[in-house]
Structure 1
């Protein structure tokens, strides 16, 4: 038989540090389990063992510790984030049918060594999987070692047999013990022979063969006097180290490795556990399913005529209950669930006019609907000239508000997170799913089951929102109604001029071509400028520029690296400009040309409400939030976005320093508030106070330095980062930050109180109750904990600013509709709103826009919105 024996602690520890921190909806850390299982299944596929054993250490002293207190004394304890995963990992292995082995008083290495000896004596093959080179001493006699290593973020395994070990080390595997006895091992606190390093130890072993032979030949002329003196002085240490480094292959085993029972997976238990851990990929890999979870509605009726629809709708209205809805992405079928009765509607069963009427009636507002992620359906309905109403709850938005760091909110993920239930895949989304040959009955059944999941998820999310009144108010007053605003903006889109884009692209092409020729001339030949490897060779080998950083594939040529050496050669600046221009051309010019709708000449960006952890909106296809603004050439792109025609104009209003105003309000810092109340330039006012000079003597350099701190302080800017930003030493930057905080003591107080609140409660929140949970603050890792502290300081500021712009959007959109204006809200970018207005409404709507933005919330530092108009976005930006 072939038995695979895994060093559980070694692989789990490696997985923990190799995979970013992950948590499930309970807050349980899962990254080490995920990494372990990824390695486990990969090795199962490659090795195809008959049985698998995983050995673990036990948290008590071993026979080595009892003899030498110093053994492994310098090792740090297991991080809490890893420790909580260990028992769960063992539970997963148990349900996989894998044998786990541990023994008090012995290390996992000893169990592994004993198992391999017993198996080899029995004639069985043993494959050891570990990240610890100590186990290489076990190679031979039917035992091989798969050594797991991680380099540059890539995990690989090397199979060691006797031949490979001999080739690499020059001696037999058993003498790895002798090597460690000589050179020691700092990770295990094994001293070896003081003063003898790896090179000397290797030479001694290659010459004499073993530790005993070396000491028997101390007088040999092949041993230099200095080495001989060290060996004599460290003789006892060498013997002790030899004993410590030797794996005990006669440990008492709690199992018989030659008589392991057959491995049977506990499918139901494993399914439940992997569902709890939210490891959907492993569930699929193992083919685990539980057919009755979640349960389908008691009764499912397919509606196929308008008469049936009328009767069903009348029944729904008469009960006056909430109705649960799930609609396919193509809007070719949907299901309504009321109580235990599901009604399924399929477009193919109706004429186009009937289907239109059916959708119009459904979204007329006559029925209260609960749906999941309905915004894209809203956009499609608007395209059909149906104004959707009646959705009183969207479970996707609710799940996002409750945990904005989850990352994804599809119904399968949300059902898994909130109910620990796995939804079957959405086979009803296939193009022919509802055709007679496409498995119509199964598609209907699945659609009803997904609608049942909407109901179950709604019940859980609504209950949790009830427990957080501020969050519930934010949900119903802002997030839910804003969904309609975003759908309307997406439906309307913004006009783009393809001719201007093409002309701009041609200008860029000319500049790129000219730059390319200059780069080739400076390089002394042609090469692929887009290849980091070739560029690195040109810069650091041919031109001899100072190397900053290396990667696994060669020299790093990142923007950070190039900016550090820009003064050494003209080619560096040319490459940076080349990259900027090629990105403008490919990402924005070519990219935007592809997404202009040929029907109306407009770009319909998808506005996303559930992406960022701070509550900010984002957009995709294309991402209009990332239109470049830092360079004049990048800002030129805004000229391509135009009003519908000469009879329309774009109105652009931008909040002035909204995050600093929010900071001043939350921190209650009188000095900062005073500057805003009197309409002062906050950066110049800060410079005046920090540098102790009258406002009229503030230089542009002083103002620039204070601007860097103003915007960086609540991001936890370090003295190192600030020094790089403003060109001073770290000591000067540290003093500058201290002077800034002394100037604005309220800001300093806010930062400390925000971190303390987050550590005590596990979250921070905005002025409107939007929460962000911060498990990072409980980490023993300084880097992770520091990240959590920065987020704790920044989220209340950035999140409140995000809430304010959303409130403004909703207020502006509602007033435009309620007062009958033809002007439309078409775009939101960070703290900026853009309207498209008929010329005759320009003046009144500009006033309306600034009024609603400035009136979004009353703060001690008053909001200021500056509005400008123009036929294109560039001009309207002002």
Structure 2
């Protein structure tokens, strides 16, 4: 029999520090449990053990502590975020039927050692899984040790048997105890022999075989005089350390290792635990379902309506029903409407086209209060059909996002798992078989009802939490209205000039082919420029350019590496230009041409409202947020976004340095506020103060350096990063940052205060109540904690700026409607809004856009927006 024995504390600890902070919607940390289970499942697949045992330490003092108070005395306590996961981990293992061992007075190592000894005596093989090298002393007979390490979410495994141990250390595994007796172990506070380090200890063991052998040969000439004196003085310490380092393989363990029980999962308990933890992938991996658990959603009656008169009667009744919970596919081909305990099902195929259209218009006419999950695609589909989507009073997807903005997605099954501890059945209302009487019609109706029930359950919790957390205005006055506006913008799209786009692509192709020929000439031969491996070989082996450290996959040829060696050979700038142009061609020229609508010749991007943790919008298919602006060629792409005809123009307005203005307002730094109020160039004004020169003596270089700090400071820019950005030494950059913070003491105070407040509260928020939880701030890992501090400083700034642009969008949209203008919002890119307007409305729309953007929020550092008009996006800049 093959037994796998896992050091539970070690693997859980490594998972906690090796995997980014995760939590469920309750705020329970989950990263350690997630990492432990991922490791367990991987090991079971690889090792295929017959039985698994997990051993844990207990809180009581062990026999080692009772004899030596100093044992492990220097270890820091378990972080609260890890301690909260320990009982959950044990509960999960119990539900899985995995044997779990712990014994008062003994460490997990002792239990592991005892189990491995008994397994060996029984003729079984034992694989010890740990992240602690102490267990390597157990190697021998049928026992091997599998060392686990986790870094940046990547887990690696290394198996040690006697041969590999000897190869690595030069002596037998049992002599690891002797090594620790000599050199000590700081992590366990085992003293060893004071003054004897690892190198000397290793050499002594190679020369004399054991601790006993060393002390039997103290007079041997191989031992230097200084080492001899230390060994003589530390003899008792060595003896004590040997005892401390020795794993007790005779712990009084009641476990019958020869007859370990088979695993019998408690499916219901395990499903409930994993749903609470929101481990959807593990639920799927283990083939679990909610069939054997008490339903978290009440059973609902389904009612199939196929008669138009009955359908209209239902909608009339629902106008008096309060909230109605709806499940509607993006194709608008079906609707499930839940009120009380009845889910009414209507399918487009059962109605005449005119009747179905009329039903949709009645449903979304504003008289019925509708709650949907992810309403924007439905709203956009209605708008494309000429129906105004009125009456959507709540979107559970938006609420789930606001309440926990760092999740990887907010689809209904995922959110239902978090809020209802329920796994929803699959549902595809666009599948003809799903609504066929000969297919799965009944199952579809039941599934649809479950989905609608989940929307109601999520609403009941999320709506109250939005209120409790002070997000009412943020939700009902910003995010929810914005959902409708984004749907309109997606439906309208923006006009492009495809012929000009193709011509631009052809110009790029000409230059790309020129570059290819020049690169081959400079490299003295042809190769695949797009292959990092071949490019690395050409640059660093053939041309002998200064090489970065070679990795397993070859040399790095990323942009940072190439920019560092750009002046070392003429081929490098050409490669950089080649990469830039090929990306422009493939991603933007070819990519944009592919998504031009055949119906109206316009591009219809999809705005993502629930993706970024800061609240910023993003766009996909295509991503218009990333249209290049740093190079002239990149900016040329903006010429391709045009007004639809000569009777229209594009109007563009963007905020001037909105994040710095928000920083000035939040930090209440008097100097920065005054610079903005007086209309000064903030970067030049900063340079004048930092360099102690009059404003008119600020050089472009001074301004550029201060611009880098202005934009980097709230991102926690380091002296190292700033040094690279402005081309100075790290020491000079550090002095520059200190001078900057002395210039703006309010900013310096804000940076410290926000980190401290975030540690106390566990989150940061924008001026409009948008929250982001920051468990990273309590991490013992420096890198994770530093990340949390940077996020704490930046989120209130960037998030508030994101809120302001959203408010501006709502204000601009509403005022255009109030004034009866034809002008309409078509694009939002970061801090920039773009209107498409008839030329007859140009001046009015420009004034309106500027006024509403500047009035979006009153700050001590006033908002400034400038509007310009032109035929193309390029012309407005």
| Band of TM-score, shorter chain | over 0.9
Shift of the 215–320 alpha-carbon distance from structure 1 to 2, 3 Å rule, reads: closer
1:290 maps to which residue? 290
Aligned to 2:463: 462
Q: Cα offset for 1:425? A: 3.2
What residue is the counterpart of 2:136 in the other structure?
Answer: 136
State the SS of the aligned residue for 2:290: coil
Rounded to whole Å, the distance in 2 between the matches of 1:749 and 1:425 is 52
- Aligned residue for 1:555, secondary structure, equals coil
- What CA distance in whole angstroms lies between the structure 2 residues aligned with 1:219 and 1:678? 83
SS in 1 for 2:625: helix
Structure 2 Cα separation of the partners of residues 139 and 760 of structure 1: 46
Counterpart of 1:371 in structure 2 is: 372
Report the alpha carbon displacement of residue 299 of structure 1 after superposing the two structures with TM: 1.6
CA spacing shift, 1:834–1:152, aligned 2, 3 Å: closer
Aligned to 2:676: 676
Aligned to 1:720: 720
Shift of 1:359: 1.6
Alignment-derived partner of residue 822 in structure 2: 822
Shift of 1:833: 0.8
2:389 corresponds in structure 1 to 388
Inter-partner Cα distance in structure 2 for 1:706 and 1:75 = 44
Task: Tell me how far apart the structure 1 counterparts of residues 756 and 203 of structure 2 sit (CA, whole Å).
Answer: 57
Three-state SS of the structure 2 residue aligned to 1:424 is coil
Query: Which ranges in structure 2 are unaligned for 5 or more consecutive residues?
Result: none
Say if 1:826 and 1:836, in contact at 8 Å, map to a contact too: yes
Q: Which moved more, 1:783-792 or 1:335-344?
A: 783-792
8 Å Cα contact 2:372-2:395 kept in structure 1: yes
Q: 1:217 to 1:717 in 2, by over 3 A?
A: closer
Q: Match of 1:703, SS?
A: helix
Number of aligned residue pairs: 875
List alignment gaps of at least 5 residues for structure 1: none
> Residues 726 and 489 of structure 1: is their aligned pair in 2 closer, same or farther, counting only changes over 3 Å?
same
Quick check: 1:549–1:561 contact (8 Å CA) kept in 2? no
Q: Secondary structure at the match of 2:4?
A: strand
- Report the secondary structure of 1:768's partner residue: coil
**1:593-646, Cα deviation, whole Å (9 max, x unpaired):** 211112211111001111112221111111101111111111111111111122
Asked whether the equivalents of residues 315 and 362 of structure 2 are also in contact (C-alpha less than 8 Å), the reply is no
The answer to whether the 8 Å contact 2:419/2:457 transfers is no
Distance 2:499 2:113 in 1: 73
Q: CA deviation at 1:548?
A: 4.0
Given that 1:605 and 1:622 are in contact with CA atoms closer than 8 Å, whether structure 2 keeps it comes out as: yes
Q: CA deviation at 1:169?
A: 5.4
Q: Which moved more, 1:359-368 or 1:721-730?
A: 721-730
Evaluate the alpha carbon distance shift between residue 153 and residue 198 of structure 1 in structure 2; reply closer, same or farther with a 3 A threshold: farther
Residue 256 of structure 1 aligns with which residue? 256
> Shift of residue 364 of structure 1?
1.5
Structure 2 counterparts to residues 608-647 of structure 1, below 5 A: 608-647=608-647
Q: Which residue of 2 aligns with 1:752?
A: 752
- Larger mean CA deviation between 658-667 and 187-196 belongs to 187-196
SS in 2 for 1:546: coil
The aligned counterpart of 1:306 is 308
Alpha-carbon shift at residue 760 of structure 1 (Å): 3.2
Q: Which residue pairs with 2:842 in the alignment?
A: 842
Shift of 1:724: 2.7
Structure 1 residues 174 and 430 mapped into 2: Cα distance closer, same or farther (>3 Å)? farther
Could you report, residue by residue, the CA deviation over 1:679-715 in whole angstroms, capped at 9, with x for unpaired residues? 2222222222333322222211222222222222222
SS of the aligned residue for 1:863 comes to: coil
Q: CA deviation at 1:38?
A: 0.8
Partners of 2:111 and 2:249 within 8 A in 1 = yes
Change (3 A) 1:735 1:126: closer
| Contact map agreement 1:5 1:112 (CA 8 A) in 2 | yes
Aligned partners of 1:779, 1:148: CA distance in 2, in Å? 21
Taking the TM superposition and a 5 Å limit, the aligned residue runs for 1:483-522 are 483-522=483-522
Q: 1:624 to 1:10 in 2, by over 3 A?
A: same
Match of 2:409 in 1: 408
- Paired position in structure 2 for 1:783: 783
- 1:816 to 1:520, Cα distance in 2 relative to 1, 3 A: same
Please name the residue that 2:444 is paired with: 443
1:398 alignment partner in structure 2: 399
Further displaced range: 799-808 or 487-496: 799-808
Higher mean displacement: 367-376 or 434-443: 434-443
Shift of 1:185: 4.5
How has the CA–CA distance of structure 1 residues 511 and 103 changed in structure 2, closer, same or farther, with 3 Å as cutoff?
same
Q: Deviations 1:784-837 (Å, cap 9, x if unpaired)?
A: 333333323322222222122112111221222232222221100011111112
- Cα deviations across residues 304-333 of structure 1 (Å, max 9, x unaligned)? 12122122223223x342211111243322
Deviations 1:190-213 (A, max 9, x none): 555677776776676667655545
Query: For residues 229 and 564 of structure 1, what CA distance do their matches in structure 2 show?
Result: 52
Deviation of 1:69 after TM superposition, in Å, equals 4.9
Deviation at 1:12, TM superposition (A): 1.3
Query: Is the Cα contact below 8 Å between 1:495 and 1:601 reproduced in 2?
Result: yes
Deviation at 1:178? 4.3
TM-score, normalising length: structure 1: 0.93
Contact 1:723–1:729 (Cα < 8 Å) also in 2? yes
Contact residue 501 and residue 589 of structure 1 kept, 8 A = yes
d(CA) in 2 for partners of 1:812 and 1:605?
20
Taking a change above 3 Å as real, the CA distance of residues 244 and 667 of structure 1, as seen in their structure-2 partners, is closer
Task: Please give the alpha-carbon distance, in whole angstroms, between the structure 1 residues aligned to 2:152 and 2:316.
Answer: 64
Q: Which moved more, 1:492-501 or 1:140-149?
A: 140-149
The residue aligned with 1:866 is 866
User: How many angstroms does 1:144 deviate by?
Assistant: 3.0
Superposition map of 1:707-746 within 5 A: 707-746=707-746
Distance 1:477 1:343, change over 3 A: same
**CA separation in 1, counterparts of 2:530 and 2:612?**
31
Correspondence 1:246 to 2:246: yes
Q: 1:13 to 1:354 in 2, by over 3 A?
A: same
Deviation per CA, 1:527-552, whole angstroms, max 9, x where unpaired? 33333333333333333333444434
- The change in CA–CA distance for 1:735 and 1:134 in structure 2 (over 3 A counts) is closer
Relative to structure 1, the CA distance from residue 226 to residue 538 in structure 2 (aligned partners, 3 Å threshold; closer, same or farther) is farther
Aligned residue number for residue 52 of structure 1: 52
Report the CA distance shift for 1:286/1:356 in structure 2 as closer, same or farther (over 3 A). Answer: same
Structure 2: distance between partners of 1:722 and 1:301: 65
- Cα distance in 1 for partners of 2:149, 2:87 equals 24
* Counterpart Cα distance in 2 of 1:399 and 1:171: 58
Deviates more, 1:727-736 or 1:405-414: 727-736
CA apart distance, 1:56? 1.2
Q: Would the aligned equivalents of 1:102 and 1:254 in 2 still touch at CA under 8 Å?
A: no
Match of 1:30 in 2: 30
Return the alpha-carbon distance in structure 2 between the equivalents of residues 673 and 200 of structure 1: 62
Contact 1:816 1:823 in 2 (8 A): yes
Give the equivalent residue in structure 1 for 2:95. Answer: 95
Shift of 1:474: 2.0
* Distance in 2 separating the partners of 1:799 and 1:476: 17
Q: How far off its partner does 1:491 sit?
A: 0.4
* TM superposition shift of 1:262: 3.4
DSSP 3-state at the match of 1:309 = helix
With over 3 angstroms needed to count, the CA separation of the structure-2 counterparts of 1:95 and 1:650, relative to structure 1, is same
Residue pair 2:16, 2:32 contacting (<8 A) in 1 also: yes
| Structure 1 residue 404: Cα displacement | 2.1
Counterpart-to-counterpart distance in 1, 2:744 and 2:171: 68
| Deviates further, 82-91 or 137-146 | 137-146
Counterpart-to-counterpart distance in 2, 1:316 and 1:662: 45
Where does residue 564 of structure 2 map in the other structure? 564
Aligned equivalents of 1:636, 1:842: Cα separation in 2: 24
CA contact 2:401–2:410 (8 Å) conserved in 1: yes
Please tell me the root mean square deviation across aligned C-alpha atoms, in Å.
Answer: 2.8
Larger displacement relative to structure 2 (164-173 or 24-33): 164-173
Q: What's the secondary structure of 2:614's corresponding residue? A: coil
In structure 2, the CA distance between the partners of 1:663 and 1:225, relative to structure 1 (3 Å rule), is closer
* TM-score, with structure 2 as normaliser: 0.93
Report 1:630-709 matches (<5 A): 630-709=630-709
Question: How far 1:152 moved relative to its partner?
Answer: 8.0
Residues 204 and 673 of structure 1, relative CA distance in 2, 3 Å threshold: closer
Q: 1:803 to 1:226 in 2, by over 3 A?
A: closer
Match of 1:304, SS state, is coil
Whether the aligned pair in 1 keeps the contact of 2:18 and 2:152 (CA below 8 Å) is no
Aligned counterparts of 1:745 and 1:380: Cα–Cα separation in 2: 52
